[in-house]
């Protein structure tokens, strides 16, 4: 089977290069954020981003942050809980962009999925996003009974920047002695802030994410702390990756940060942490938020569901 990008993805890359101005400043990033969220309410939303599964969706606020809670219908008894952090380079995105994944994981695994917002750069640079992600973990652990969840079955998930946050809070929970994290699903995670790996050169002008955008995201997210080598920004740099929850890591062949996921899987395995690593040859960065453009997203979603089900 060919690993060439599907025609829809190539068309997306063509349109992106011609219609979307690549932000290079804080002001341009904020403008792009507003433009993107306006687009998500247009007529092609269902096709591009996938139609959510039939689950109960509740919106709540915690310390000014918005959380979407996806609960399977007819839930009986304490259920597993999955906290799903959205991507967007720590500068863009909302929980809604992961609705297709969040709702289907809830429906197919019988889990309660909590999809939180978090403060975004450039207005709120590092470590604001980490603080909010950790605060969400603590809130879920404290209120898990109210949610209908099982306190021994809390997992984390995230894509791209959200994968970074999921990896970081897994390390934080280990070092703090809890709350216990059962598993981590890392979807094309960004785990290294500064090093350049071969996949970045190979996919420098890929669809959705380019090498130039990676640099902009990193500078805006880190702000005045750009160059700080703390593992809370780059979980790859943690002193140890032992005693972490088992991981399911997804990478995409046509993704500039593909090597991040591969190298993080290597680090986890070397420390004795169980890892499933799955690379999708026809996929690109962000493909799990764009199932209408990336048919392989359904296969990747099925693998996530199987991984979470098999934890029981």
Show which residues are catalytic. 160, 255, 285
Closest alpha carbon to 300 in 312, 310, 311, 282: 282
Look-up of token digits 């690593």: 277
Evaluate whether 287 touches 294 at the Cβ level (below 8 Å).
yes
Helical spans, DSSP H, in the chain:
7-19, 26-39, 45-49, 99-109, 128-147, 161-176, 198-202, 211-222, 258-270, 297-309
Write out the DSSP string of 241-264: --SPPPEEEEEEEE-TTHHHHHHH
Q: Cα–Cα distance between 111 and 105 in angstroms, integer?
A: 7
Q: How many CB atoms lie within 10 A of CB 307?
A: 19
- Residue 79: CA count within 13 A, CB half-sphere: 23
Evaluate whether 109 touches 300 at the Cβ level (below 8 Å).
no
CB neighbour class for 237 (10 Å; exposed up to 12, middle 13-18, buried from 19):
middle
User: Rounded to 5 degrees, what are φ and ψ at 148?
Assistant: 90, 20
Q: How many CB atoms lie within 10 A of CB 206?
A: 26
Cα separation values, 76 from 29, 30, 71, 113, 141, Å = 44, 43, 11, 15, 19
């Amino acid at each position: 089977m060919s690993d060439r990008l599907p025609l829809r993805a190539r068309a997306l890359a063509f349109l992106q290069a011609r219609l979307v101005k690549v932000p290079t400043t804080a002001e341009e990033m904020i403008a792009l954020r507003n433009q993107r969220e306006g687009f998500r309410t247009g007529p092609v939303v269902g096709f591009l981003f996938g139609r959510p599964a039939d689950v109960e969706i509740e919106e709540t606020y915690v310390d000014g942050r918005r959380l979407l809670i996806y609960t399977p219908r007819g839930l009986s008894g304490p259920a597993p809980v999955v906290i799903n952090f959205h991507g967007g380079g720590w500068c863009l995105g909302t929980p809604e962009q992961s609705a297709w994944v969040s709702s289907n994981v809830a429906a197919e695994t019988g889990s309660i999925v909590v999809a939180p917002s978090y403060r975004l750069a450039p207005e709120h640079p590092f470590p604001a996003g980490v603080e909010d992600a950790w605060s969400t973990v603590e809130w879920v652990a404290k209120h898990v009974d109210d949610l209908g969840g099982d306190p021994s079955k809390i997992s984390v998930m995230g894509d791209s920047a959200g994968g970074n946050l999921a990896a970081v809070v897994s390390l934080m929970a280990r070092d703090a002695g809890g709350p216990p994290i059962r598993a981590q699903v890392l979807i094309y995670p960004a785990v290294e802030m500064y090093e350049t790996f071969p996949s970045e050169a190979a996919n420098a002008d890929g669809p959705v994410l380019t090498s130039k955008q990676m640099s902009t995201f990193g500078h805006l997210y880190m702000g005045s702390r750009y160059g700080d080598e703390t593992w809370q920004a780059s979980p790859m740099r943690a002193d140890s990756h032992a005693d972490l929850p088992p991981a399911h890591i997804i990478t995409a062949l046509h993704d500039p940060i593909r090597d991040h996921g591969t190298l993080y899987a290597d680090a986890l395995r070397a420390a004795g942490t169980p890892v499933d690593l799955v690379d999708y040859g026809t996929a690109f960065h962000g493909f799990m938020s764009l199932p209408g453009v990336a048919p392989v997203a359904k296969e990747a979603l099925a693998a996530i569901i199987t991984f979470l089900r098999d934890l029981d």
